[in-house]
Amino acid sequence: MGKGPKTKKSILKRFKITGTGKVMVKKISGRGHLLAHKSPKRKRQLKRQPVLGATATGRIKKMIGI
Q: Please check whether residue 9 is in contact with residue 61, taking contact to mean a CB–CB distance below 8 angstroms.
A: no
pLDDT tens, residue by residue, 3-56 = 778 889 999 999 999 999 999 998 888 889 999 999 999 999 988 888 999 999
Q: How many domains does the chain have?
A: 1
First to last CA, the chain: 19
Q: Is residue 37 part of a domain?
A: yes
Cβ burial of 32 (10 Å; 0-12, 13-18, 19+) is exposed
pLDDT of residue 27: 86
Residue 22 lies in a domain: yes
**Number of other CB atoms surrounding residue 37 within 10 Å:** 6
Q: What is the pLDDT of residue 28?
A: 84
In the chain, DSSP assigns E strands to 15-17, 23-25
Please give the residue range of the domain that contains residue 40.
Answer: 9-64
Identify whether 3 is part of a domain: no
Quote the pLDDT of residue 49.
82
Residue 24 placed within a domain: yes
With cut-offs at 50, 70 and 90, classify the pLDDT of residue 1: low
Q: Is 4 domain-assigned? A: no
pLDDT at 60: 93
